[in-house]
Amino acid sequence: MLILDKSDTLKKTALITLAFSIFSMVVSVLFSKTNTEITSYYMTFLALVPFVLGFIPTFFLLWRGMPQPGFFSYHLYFFGVAALTMSCFLRGIFEITEHTSMYQVYLFYIGLVAAIIGIGGYVQMFITGKDF
């Protein structure tokens, strides 16, 4: 069984979030080229969510050599980022098709709360040295 160092995990996370940001940007560009009448800001700026909330903080942690997040705060934060990204994608699709659903709103708030709790766990670990 291969056990990765935490810095290797952060490097993989940075690459995955960067790749998903690029993929989201390609989806946004392809959508804007094929459909000119209907636009959605959620679909247009979809690539910014994983880039700003995923790649930049991970790159900052690696670049500055800061303490690595604990298991719980790491996974909870990136669950929140994934939920926020999926919520923006679904909201963009619902705007384009002119439908509504409350599920993407719930997903947005669940993702937001998860990311905030993950950040709180990292701050607590940074201050006390223990991950909750």
For residue 4, pLDDT beyond 60 = no
The reported pLDDT for the residue numbered 36 is 61
113 in any annotated domain? yes
29 in any annotated domain? yes
Q: What is the mean pLDDT of residues 108-120?
A: 95
For residue 132, pLDDT beyond 70 = no
For residue 13, pLDDT beyond 50 = yes
The residue segments making up the domain with residue 85 are: 6-128
Cα separations in angstroms, 30 against 23, 35, 43: 11, 9, 11
93 in any annotated domain? yes
1 in any annotated domain? no
The reported pLDDT for the residue numbered 35 is 64
Q: What is the mean pLDDT of residues 28-33?
A: 78
Number of domains observed in the structure of the chain: 1
